[in-house]
Structure 1
């Protein structure tokens, strides 16, 4: 009697194996888990077992980028599979809800071209969907873990595609590269602030990791600035440069902080690093105070980590008390806009934890952040 052909998927996801159903082995999320809205996990042993396929792939992709064929990867098989409704939901949420958080006006004459650049760039599409999933994880508490899981999966996929494609900066790629860098940075900042797990040491480690990764991505764009200034993003750049240019004196809180840093008689390099971080914070405070809408104020909140130097992140990693005090002053902005999903009440957490970590010796340095908690 001939041996019966094996019909089960050998490398299927753990959820399909648990349910004893055939898995089509699509990664990072198989069709069964997409339709049933289950958490799809292949386990760490499959991370490098097969090439990753982009969730959204451009039609002009080279043949070598096509994933390894599986028994169900024929054109006919794909035609029988359902549309990934999760991705449709995330895309709809992004352009109807999430974008409003950052005051992106659909009436801008160049927004249609921005969308065109977005939907034709696989790594950017995946990151956009990831950010939308992060947003939904905060607005739909019963499905928090479901959307947070897919946010992480989609972001990992975006980074993998970005690394594999190794894009060079050209007139054609500079806009999607800039958008990817910006959105990835905001996503990582939000995830760090929202899901801090009430562990201050872990939070600091994640915050430093975010600063370094975002700085690394921004470095790629160094040669793109001339191209971007001459692109359809030029109006946004001109507005941003004008907003965050500190052309006046420091406010009383930042001036007091800088005076304390100078009086501490630190090395010149340390003092200069702290001075730049404080001046960047003042520019963000100015923008937040002048903004007539909360959306624009949130932009000021996410700008400070972009403006500070990588040296400052090293000082945070070393737990330098002056760096932690400056971080607590930045947390005042987080606390002022605590009602935003982007910040998740992180301001109070940072201020209280820094105060507890440094002890009474630093109460004078932290007087203003502490007072802000009672406003």
Structure 2
């Protein structure tokens, strides 16, 4: 039998018939004949109208199908929306743990801009907007469509300036030799505090305006709400690199202990991100006809890898010129998924309290399974992209950029929106404890750490992976320590 015949047989065996039409909307949306965003326990439409919301029961197969298929051309999104972007308390401002300023800082005022704000606006137009995407078409949206809306909507201007402030903040490295003098530390701390007070002020002002617009979401204001969502998502990603820098540098001035404290994991950024999909689904037709249609198309966000036999992805050879980190990832990603699958298969009963899979989890089987399915989809999309990226027109550094652009086009960055509620609950935020779901989260973080050419991702998730590794080493759980060796090796080898 030829290789082509084997490939075709594998494709026929692995392909599955699926549908993208959701049949799991709430009763009220069905009666009104409108699209339901399927948020649990109250969908977005019912929340906005203050109506009772109830759902029919559905099968496991239906739930799995709905969870992994969003609107055509969009990244795979989870059908269960958190309450984050509905009534009341959310979206919430991210906490930067800023010290009280020792000297007055520039105030953030509504309806006016000072020289600091003008500098941040200039920075966004000259640099930030040109580095928000590896796709030329999406980059043009950041350069033109979003700034144009900010001239008419003050809350968007605040969110834009907050994002520019994170990009403009110089992350000061530790001096050679590992010594930080008190003068350097005090100067850095003062500069950080003053700058971030302005950034957080814009972030909070923008959030308040965003909440007001979201409460009246319709086709009339969906473009500005979507623009605000995009700015919030970018801010959430970019906040990690600044907050991690703050944790590692500012703690030096306040620490009196001779032993290093356990690392602090940050999960609040995930919750801030997870409302974007609700806006998209509720106003999908209007958005696709508006100025953001280019940013909504992700033709690579498919499960086409399922058409091919596993043997094509067990070890994927990265093309010459590819990033060494991506090359290491491709050599071991399939095996890493297999090891995590073995951890799941080795636990026959969810009631087995002694199993490492169940450590620290109330509902380990469903949470771990949901996270692992999402992780497999993201990893296989990356492997699929690299396997078929043989464009001989690109050479040198252009190869690495092209692969990362294809990864972006495959919506690899979109996994925070697709996390299930059970998986998020299993992480135990804010009291994160070592468990199997945390291993999966570290592996998901690795998919973002591969975007070395994207400023708001570069370096931030390296720190988070190392924090998780430190947590497991402190717990002494050999099973989890072993599972963390591969992502750490991909980062540091």
Query: TM-score normalised by the shorter chain: which range applies?
Result: 0.5 to 0.7
1:37-91 residue CA offsets vs partner (Å, 9 max, x unmatched): 95247xxxxxxxxxx96346xxxxxxxxxxxxxxxxxxxxxxxxxx611121111
Q: 1:1-375 alignment to 2 at 5 Å?
A: 38-40=104-106, 54-55=110-111, 84-103=114-133, 105=136, 108=140, 112-138=144-170, 143-196=191-244, 197-198=247-248, 203-204=264-265, 206-207=266-267, 209-216=268-275, 218-238=277-297, 240=298, 242-249=299-306, 252=334, 253-265=336-348, 266=350, 268-282=365-379, 285-286=382-383, 289=386, 292-293=400-401, 296=405, 299=408, 302-317=413-428, 319=433, 321-337=435-451, 341-343=455-457, 345-358=459-472, 359=476, 360-375=478-493
Aligned with 1:293: secondary structure? helix
Provide the C-alpha distance between the structure 2 equivalents of 1:227 and 1:283, rounded to a whole number of angstroms. Answer: 32
The runs of at least 4 consecutive aligned structure 1 residues that moved more than 6 Å come to 199-202
Which is further off, 139-148 or 309-318?
139-148
Q: How far apart are the structure 2 equivalents of 1:302 and 1:149?
A: 28
Q: CA RMSD in A?
A: 3.6
Q: Which moved more, 1:169-178 or 1:128-137?
A: 169-178
* Greater relative contact order (CA < 8 Å, ≥ 6 in sequence): 2
Per-residue deviation, residues 299-358 of structure 1 (Å, max 9, x unmatched): 566433233234322222253622111122133345444575424633443333322322
Consecutive unaligned residues of structure 1, counting only runs of 5 or more, are: 1-36, 42-51, 57-82
1:247-277 deviation line (CA, Å, top 9, x unaligned):
2147513343234334334465224412333
TM-score, structure 1 normalization: 0.67
Q: In the aligned structure 2, how far is the partner of 1:97 from the partner of 1:273?
A: 38
Distance 1:329 1:321 in 2: 13
Cα distance per residue 1:16-47 (max 9 Å; x no partner):
xxxxxxxxxxxxxxxxxxxxx95247xxxxxx
Question: 2:385 and 2:159 mapped to 1: Cα distance?
Answer: 27
In structure 2, distance between residues paired with 1:111 and 1:324: 37
The gaps in structure 2 that reach 5 residues or longer are: 1-102, 174-187, 249-259, 314-333, 351-363, 390-398
CA distance in 2 between partners of 1:102 and 1:270 (Å)? 32
Distance 1:213 1:373, change over 3 A: closer
Bigger mean CA offset, 349-358 vs 284-293: 284-293
| Distance change >3 Å, CA 339–CA 53, structure 1 → 2 | closer
Shift of residue 105, structure 1, vs aligned partner: 3.9
